[in-house]
Amino acid sequence: MEIKSILIKDTTKEERERIVAESIGNINGSCDGCASGLIEMYQDYIDGKKEIRDINMEFRAHYESGLDGPEKAECGYVK
């Protein structure tokens, strides 16, 4: 069955779980532990609380802000 929309209003919780699992890939075969973190990141979508686009925008804004990263100097990074 092909899903035409991934919006919360157009999907069931089971469909959202499948959308996330299929998007991330083989979460059970991952040995580095990062897949479980991705599932947690999208839990609000699965639970119907927040759209995927909002979660992605929040993640991207946090990543691009550099608040948690090193500060850049003229010739490299400063710790």
- pTM of structure: 0.62
**Domain assignment of residue 2, yes or no:** no
**Domain assignment of residue 31, yes or no:** yes
Domain residues for the domain of 12 are 8-78
**Domain assignment of residue 39, yes or no:** yes
**Domain assignment of residue 3, yes or no:** no
**Domain assignment of residue 1, yes or no:** no
Is beta strand 76-78 parallel, antiparallel or unpaired with respect to 71-73?
antiparallel
**Domain assignment of residue 54, yes or no:** yes
**Domain assignment of residue 19, yes or no:** yes
**Total tally of structural domains belonging to the chain:** 1
**Domain assignment of residue 14, yes or no:** yes
C-alpha distance from residue 22 to each of 26, 27, 55 (Å): 8, 9, 17
Going residue by residue through the chain, which has 79 residues, state the pLDDT in tens, using 9 for 90 and above.
Answer: 566 899 999 999 999 999 998 888 755 554 455 556 677 889 999 999 999 999 988 887 766 555 555 555 555 545 5
